[in-house]
Amino acid sequence: MSMTLFLILCLNGVQYGMLLFLIAAGLTLVFGVMGFINLAHGVQYMVGAYLAFFFVQLTGSFFLAVVLSLGAALIIGLLLEYFIFRHLYTRTHLDQVLATFGIIIFLNELAKVLFGPATLSLSPPELLSGSIQLTETLRYPVYRLVTIFIGLAVAVGLFFAVSYTRVGMLIRAGATTPEMVSALGVNIQQLFMIVFGVGAMLAGFAGVIAAPIFAVEPGMGDNILIVAFVVIIIGGVGSIGGAFVAALLVGLIDTLGRSLATMVLSAVFNPSFASQIGPALASMLIYILMAAILVFRPKGLLPAKGANA
Q: Residues in the site for another protein, rule: CB under 8 A? A: 31, 37, 39, 84, 87-88, 91-95, 97-99, 101-110, 112-113, 222, 226, 229-230, 233, 237, 276-277, 279-281, 283-284, 287-288, 290-291, 294-295, 298, 309
> CB neighbours of 199 closer than 8 A, spacing ≥ 6?
25, 26, 27, 29, 30, 41, 77
Rg (CA), the chain: 20
Give whichever of 150 and 281 is closer to another protein, judged by the CB atom.
281
> Least distance to another protein from the beta carbon of 246, Å?
13
Give whichever of 6 and 101 is closer to another protein, judged by the CB atom.
101
Identify the DSSP state of 216: B
> Least distance to another protein from the beta carbon of 25, Å?
17
3-state SS, residue 167: helix
Give whichever of 124 and 218 is closer to another protein, judged by the CB atom.
218
Give whichever of 7 and 277 is closer to another protein, judged by the CB atom.
277
> CB neighbours of 305 closer than 8 A, spacing ≥ 6?
172, 176
> Least distance to another protein from the beta carbon of 20, Å?
15
> Least distance to another protein from the beta carbon of 283, Å?
4
Give the residue ranges of DSSP H helices in 87-239: 93-115, 142-164, 166-176, 178-183, 188-210, 220-235
> Least distance to another protein from the beta carbon of 145, Å?
31
β-strand partners of 133: 139
> Least distance to another protein from the beta carbon of 254, Å?
12
Give whichever of 61 and 176 is closer to another protein, judged by the CB atom.
176
Give whichever of 167 and 260 is closer to another protein, judged by the CB atom.
260
β-strand partners of 216: 120
> Least distance to another protein from the beta carbon of 287, Å?
4
CA-based nearest residue to 210, from 49, 91, 71:
49
Give whichever of 65 and 217 is closer to another protein, judged by the CB atom.
217
- With vertex at residue 172, the alpha carbon angle to CA 294 and CA 156, rounded to the nearest 5 degrees, is 85
The backbone region for 60, taken as left when phi is positive above 0, alpha when psi lies in -120 to 50, beta otherwise, is left
CA-based nearest residue to 287, from 233, 214, 244:
233
